[in-house]
Every structure is written in structure tokens, then in C-alpha cells.
Chains A and B, each alone.
Chain A
Amino acid sequence: RKEVEQDPGPFNVPEGATVAFNCTYSNSASQSFFWYRQDCRKEPKLLMSVYSSGNEDGRFTAQLNRASQYISLLIRDSKLSDSATYLCVVDVNYGQNFVFGPGTRLSVLP
């Protein structure tokens, strides 16, 4: 089983749609959780950290369920500029090992 798994994608959605990404992780001792975004031929960049109580940043909402070892990302009112690959990332060793999921590609269509 991979350490971090994500929806295989790709997701093709119209502008304005709401889209949800799911992620599961296998290491129950993982400390921190993140969603990164990677545009084509660019480096990954932090989209948002994921806190135990859930957190929201504008149109983006992240949830964490430690008991189920499950992380989610919800994007509301999708924009064309949201098109990218979304990477679920888990810190398994106190900032010394960030494990990436395979990513889910999102295309927002006009």
C-alpha cells in the first residue's frame, strides 16, 4: 500500500463547479498535513496546511480525520486558474520527510 493515496483523476469540471479531492495516508504517527499545488512544469507550492479542526481559506476548505487517516480538499466556485495538479502531502518525521501523494489533476473548463 502506498504511504499516501489520492483520487486518480483527472477531474474535468466547468467553471463555477465545486470539486472535492480525497486523500488517505498509512502512517498513523504522521504529524502534519498539507495540500500543495503544482502547475505544469513548475515546482510544487503550498496551497494550505490542514489542521485537525479543519480550516478554510477563501474558496478552499481542508478537513482532516486522524481516526480514519483521511484528508480532503474542497474547492468552491472553481476558476480557470485553479487548473493544476493537487498534491496531498504528509509529514511523517517532524519536518524531515514530506511524503507526497501521486496527485490529482484538475482541469477547469470555460
Chain B
Amino acid sequence: DTAVSQTPKYLVTQMGNDKSIKCEQNLGHDTMYWYKQDSKKFLKIMFSYNNKELIINETVPNRFSPKSPDKAHLNLHINSLELGDSAVYFCASSSQGGENTEAFFGQGTRLTVV
């Protein structure tokens, strides 16, 4: 069973389009995240949700809108896609608090904007 699954795995789309990436976790975790890994391979947090509430919203264009319909899902919608949005987007989840609570990652969505 896949713990954190995101779809699609690959996404190629034209500039200006709107697209969504879905993420689901079956680990019963309270916290879910979206990370972006750019061409330099640097992983940077975009959003963090805890029990469906937005906790962290880093400096991300408002074209990016996360939606958490329930604790197990955190989807990412992107409007008016730009070339610079091309990257790998990783969804992750972890349980709340405690020491050494690790984050589990999905397989990533490789987004290419042409």
C-alpha cells in the first residue's frame, strides 16, 4: 500500500493553463505539506496544513492555492502556469508534534510548462 500518493506523476502543459495535483495519505497523519524541488534540486516548503488548516504559507505566488478537503488529502491547484513553475512538486505528511517525527513523501509530480 502506498503511504503518500500523488497524481499525476508527470504533467506537461502550456503556459497560461490551470492544473491540479492531487495528494492522499493513508497513514492517519495530521499534517500534510507541499514542497517544490527546482532545477538546482533544492527542496523548499510551500505550504503546511494541520487538520485541514493552513499553518505555513511560504512566499509562493497566489496562483498556487492548496485545498484540503479532509485530513487525508491536500491538493494543489495552480492557475496561469508560467515557465518558472516547471519543477518537481512533492507532497508529504507527518504525525503531529513529538520528537523525531519524520515526514513521508509521495513520489513527486514532475511538472513541465512549455
Contacts and interface: CB of A to CB of B under 8 A. Distances in A.
Contacts of B107: 42-43
A94 B97 contact: yes
A97 B48 contact: yes
B98 A95 contact: yes
Interface string A71-108: 00000000000000101010101111111101100000
A95 B108 CA distance: 20
A46 interface: yes
Contacts of A87: 43
Interface residues of B, number: 30
Which range holds the interface residue count of chain A? Answer: 20 to 34
A17 B105 CA distance: 30
Contact of A32 (B31, B50, B99): B99
A25 interface: no
Interface string B30-65: 010101000011111100101000011000000000
A45 B94 CA distance: 13
Given A42-B107, A98-B94, A34 B41 contact: no
A96 B31 contact: yes
A49 interface: yes
A97 B45 contact: yes
A51 B56 CA distance: 26
Contacts of A32: 99-101
Contacts of B104: 46
B114 interface: no
Interface of A: 31-32, 34, 42-46, 49, 51, 85, 87, 89, 91, 93-100, 102-103
Interface of B: 31, 33, 35, 40-45, 48, 50, 55-56, 90, 92, 94-108
Given A32-B99, A93-B55, 15 more contacts: A34-B100, A42-B108, A43-B90, A43-B108, A45-B105, A46-B104, A87-B43, A94-B97, A95-B95, A97-B45, A97-B56, A98-B45, A100-B35, A100-B42, A103-B41
